[in-house]
């Protein structure tokens, strides 16, 4: 009988991983942690269901290549350009300080300098997959801490490339000098640039030819060929396969076919990256872990505390609010998936001995387990720390706003804040913008807006924005905790200020009203309103009926969207509104058949049954209309009739001759 040991191993991996991942998912853990646990359970140091991990490691290496390929696709040059200056600075400082501190500690404990550098690189990395999964599940990707966390992990992911290059150089020489390192990085940089340019020229042409065939199988094979081919070329010039895959992803991301390639390659990436994490788990010697738990656990705690402290320090240096820095620090306090790539590189070049390899694998798994649990309490922890050290918090070095009264405070300069500011500027209403993103504040000032840098959740910042004299405050931020804190502070200082709050979910509406909000706009609600309004508009229902529906839902406090029943009396009232004759309006454009005709010549009542009851011209309504009244371009005709009559009239008046 034919023996297929690899197939048997893969069946075991997949079969065990499914229930384990389900269990971890029920516990609120990311799937990565479940795959790591699967490897520990079935590996040669666990239940010994798989004793030879070499073949699985081979597939895992392909998984790393696919992982970096799709990350390159998802990052793209456009996203790299959009990574904020503050994210680049904070991410760079976090890597620099964490690595430097770890090197100092490792040297103190008599570790070789090369190995100390590797330790620093490993610990400096955070898990991109875990933090993005947590933020996505909580709906906080676009929050202040979500944007900063995402920016930092992107910088960390990019930093893996020079880290791997440096580790490969250190593994080949006995003594590392500054000149040698500079030469190695420069040589690698030239090689990467050359491959990048070559790929940038050839890849779009190859993809175009594949697309012309209109064959899905050829398209997928071409994408995989480009990924693995560029990875192989980079390996031939002394770089790693993973770097080549990353370059391939970046280049392909600029093509118009990138979204389709992501959709096609994603299943392959997920399968192979799952094997990668399971193979890492299989490398953990469980008996070693248990026997050295007394030393591993303090190290895990030290890593978490160190990374939290570094990120908080960097946040304070860059004048971020302490609360924000603490939340970001907790979310990034683990050791990331790219640390495993660095470990494998270090092991391949004898920079990591077996004992430290086991310790770092165990530490990585434990930090990945701990951070999702800690992040659930991050808001509470951040508030407590901010309260304890609140007196030392750096709010804003900018002076308070002068000369503002009866104005609008716009909290947050995202898309909603930008649109609000533009409208207020155009209408001449006084306003001021608050945001704790320095780049956004700078952009607002360049666009001619009045803006202050600061955390809206602090009363002092609100006072600098003139909250005591403000008429309206608009909360356009995606941070629900900061919004609630700021709303409470604003109402305490100025109870009469009109608070307009934007929130994401309907479930938050009631709590915001209790805190004093005058009006809460839920994204879920407004999206549903836009959908049904456009559906009704497509059936040419008059605007007053559509508005009646919107008002009805708002009056009922979103009861329809919550699945509650409307009172029978309201439903009867609504039915009678539909049955009655209604009004609607239509603009007479230059190409309308009604232009330059008198009411007698148009004779709309005879042809459609609709009556023109008024005509608005130049902002004034004419209601006493004679038969010789001539319609001009730009007039607004007010029509009265049934739904069918109005529909017929609309079609006639909008039809070109």
- Domain range annotation of the chain: 5-384, 413-522, 581-657
Mean pLDDT of the chain: 78
395 or 30: whose pLDDT is higher? 30
Which range is most confident: 112-116, 213-217, 304-308, 646-650? 304-308
pLDDT at residue 409, as a whole number: 92
Task: Burial-class residue 393 by CB neighbours within 10 Å (0-12, 13-18, 19+).
Answer: middle
User: Which has the closest alpha carbon to 60: 300, 349, 357, 341?
Assistant: 341
Q: Distance between CA 151 and CA 157 in Å, rounded?
A: 10
Tokens encoding 152: 């930092």
**Cβ proximity of 129 and 372 under 8 Å:** no
**Rg value, the chain, Cα:** 31
Tokens encoding 149: 């966390």
pLDDT at residue 393, as a whole number: 45
Q: Distance between CA 90 and CA 109 in Å, rounded?
A: 28
Tokens encoding 495: 């109870």
Q: Which residue has the tokens 């009988």?
A: 1
6 or 552: whose pLDDT is higher? 6
Helix, strand, coil percent content, the chain, rounded in steps of 5: 65, 10, 25
User: Which has the closest alpha carbon to 464: 480, 441, 446, 448?
Assistant: 441
Going from the C-alpha of 7 to that of each of 11, 56, 281, 654, the distances in angstroms are 6, 10, 19, 67
pLDDT at residue 153, as a whole number: 85
Cβ partners under 8 Å of residue 1, min gap 6: none
Task: Burial-class residue 355 by CB neighbours within 10 Å (0-12, 13-18, 19+).
Answer: exposed
Mean pLDDT confidence for 361-386: 83
pLDDT at residue 305, as a whole number: 94
* DSSP state at residue 391: G
Judged against a pLDDT cut of 70, whether residue 369 lies above it is answered with yes
Cβ partners under 8 Å of residue 409, min gap 6: 431, 432, 434, 462, 465, 466, 467, 470, 472, 473, 474
Beta bridge partners of 586: 637
- In 3-state terms, what secondary structure has residue 348? helix
Bridge-based pairing state of the strands 611-617 and 636-641: antiparallel
pLDDT at residue 120, as a whole number: 94
Q: Would you put residue 536 in left (φ > 0), alpha (ψ -120 to 50) or beta?
A: alpha
Angle at 177 between CA 237 and CA 310, to 5 degrees: 95
Mind listing the pLDDT tens digit for each residue in 555-575?
555 554 444 444 544 444 544
pLDDT at residue 279, as a whole number: 77
pLDDT at residue 392, as a whole number: 45
pLDDT at residue 311, as a whole number: 93
Bridge-based pairing state of the strands 472-475 and 498-503: parallel
CATH architecture of 5-384: Up-down Bundle (1.20)
Cβ partners under 8 Å of residue 179, min gap 6: none
394 — pLDDT class (breaks 50, 70, 90): very low
Mean pLDDT confidence for 452-475: 86
| Percentage above 70 pLDDT, the chain | 77
* DSSP state at residue 239: S
465 — pLDDT class (breaks 50, 70, 90): confident
Mind listing the pLDDT tens digit for each residue in 224-270?
888 888 888 877 776 667 777 777 777 777 777 766 776 777 666 67
Cβ partners under 8 Å of residue 126, min gap 6: 152, 153, 156, 307, 331, 332, 333, 334, 335, 336
pLDDT at residue 575, as a whole number: 47
Lowest mean pLDDT among 261-270, 341-350, 363-372: 261-270
Q: Distance between CA 130 and CA 368 in Å, rounded?
A: 8
Lowest mean pLDDT among 223-232, 292-301, 409-418, 580-589: 580-589
CATH number of the structural domain 581-657: 3.30.70.1450
Q: Distance between CA 284 and CA 643 in Å, rounded?
A: 72
Judged against a pLDDT cut of 70, whether residue 549 lies above it is answered with no
Domain 413-522 has CATH 3.40.50.720: yes
Q: Distance between CA 598 and CA 626 in Å, rounded?
A: 9
């Amino acid at each position: 009988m034919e023996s297929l040991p690899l197939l048997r191993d893969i069946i075991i991996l997949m079969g065990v991983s499914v229930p384990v991942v389900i269990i971890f998912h029920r516990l609120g853990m990311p799937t990565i942690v479940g795959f790591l646990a699967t490897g520990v359970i079935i590996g040669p140091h666990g239940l010994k269901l798989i004793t030879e991990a070499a073949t699985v490691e081979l597939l895992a290496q392909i998984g790393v290549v696919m992982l970096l390929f799709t990350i390159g696709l998802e990052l793209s040059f456009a996203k790299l350009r959009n990574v904020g200056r503050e994210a680049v600075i904070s991410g760079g400082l976090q890597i620099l300080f964490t690595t430097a501190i770890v090197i100092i500690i490792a040297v103190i404990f008599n570790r070789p300098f090369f190995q100390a550098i590797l330790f620093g690189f490993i610990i400096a990395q955070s898990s991109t997959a875990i933090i993005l999964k947590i933020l996505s599940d909580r709906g906080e990707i676009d929050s202040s801490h979500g944007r900063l966390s995402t920016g930092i992990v992107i910088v960390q992911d990019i930093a893996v490339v020079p880290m791997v290059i440096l580790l490969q150089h250190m593994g080949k020489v006995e003594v590392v000098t500054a000149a040698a390192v500079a030469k190695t990085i420069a040589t690698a940089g030239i090689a990467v640039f050359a491959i990048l340019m070559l790929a940038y020229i050839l890849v779009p042409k190859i993809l175009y030819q594949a697309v012309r065939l209109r064959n899905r199988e050829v398209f997928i094979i071409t994408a995989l060929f480009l990924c693995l081919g560029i990875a192989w070329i980079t390996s031939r010039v002394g770089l790693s396969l993973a770097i080549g895959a990353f370059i391939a992803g970046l280049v392909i991301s600029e093509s118009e076919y990138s979204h389709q390639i992501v959709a096609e390659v994603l299943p392959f990436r997920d399968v192979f990256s799952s094997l990668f994490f399971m193979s890492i788990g299989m490398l953990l010697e469980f008996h070693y872990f248990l026997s050295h738990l007394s030393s591993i656990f303090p190290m895990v705690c030290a890593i978490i505390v160190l990374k939290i402290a570094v990120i908080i320090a960097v946040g304070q240096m860059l004048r971020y609010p302490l609360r924000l820095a603490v939340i970001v620090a907790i979310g990034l306090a683990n050791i990331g998936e790219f640390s495993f790539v660095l470990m494998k590189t270090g092991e391949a070049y004898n920079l990591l001995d077996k004992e430290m390899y086991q310790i770092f694998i165990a530490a990585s798994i434990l930090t990945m387990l701990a951070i999702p649990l800690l992040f659930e309490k991050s808001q509470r922890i951040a508030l407590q720390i901010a309260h304890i050290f609140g007196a030392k918090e750096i709010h804003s070095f900018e002076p308070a706003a002068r000369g503002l009264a009866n104005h609008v405070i716009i909290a947050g300069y995202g898309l909603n804040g930008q649109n609000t500011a533009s409208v207020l500027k155009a209408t001449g209403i006084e306003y001021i913008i608050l945001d704790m993103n320095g780049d956004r504040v700078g952009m607002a000032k360049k666009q001619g807006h009045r803006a202050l840098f600061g955390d809206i959740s602090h009363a002092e910042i609100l006072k600098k924005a003139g909250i005591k004299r403000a008429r309206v405050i608009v909360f356009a931020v995606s941070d629900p905790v900061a919004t609630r804190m700021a709303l409470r502070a604003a109402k305490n200082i100025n109870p009469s200020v009109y608070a307009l709050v934007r929130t994401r979910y309907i479930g938050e509406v009631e709590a915001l009203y209790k805190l004093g909000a005058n009006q809460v706009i839920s994204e879920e609600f407004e999206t549903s309103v836009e959908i049904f309004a456009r559906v009704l508009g497509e059936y040419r229902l008059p605007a007053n009926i559509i508005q009646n529906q919107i008002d009805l839902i708002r009056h009922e406090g979103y009861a329809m969207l919550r699945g509650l029943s409307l009172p029978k009396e309201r439903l009867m009232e609504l039915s009678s509104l539909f049955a009655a004759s209604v009004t609607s309006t239509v603009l007479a454009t230059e190409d309308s058949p009604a232009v330059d005709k008198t009411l007698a010549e148009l004779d709309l009542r005879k042809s459609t049954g609709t009556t023109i009851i008024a005509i608005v011209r130049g902002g004034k309504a004419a209601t006493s209309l004679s038969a010789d009244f001539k319609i001009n371009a730009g007039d607004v005709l007010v029509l009265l009739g049934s739904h069918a009559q109005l529909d017929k009239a609309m079609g006639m008046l909008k039809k070109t001759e």
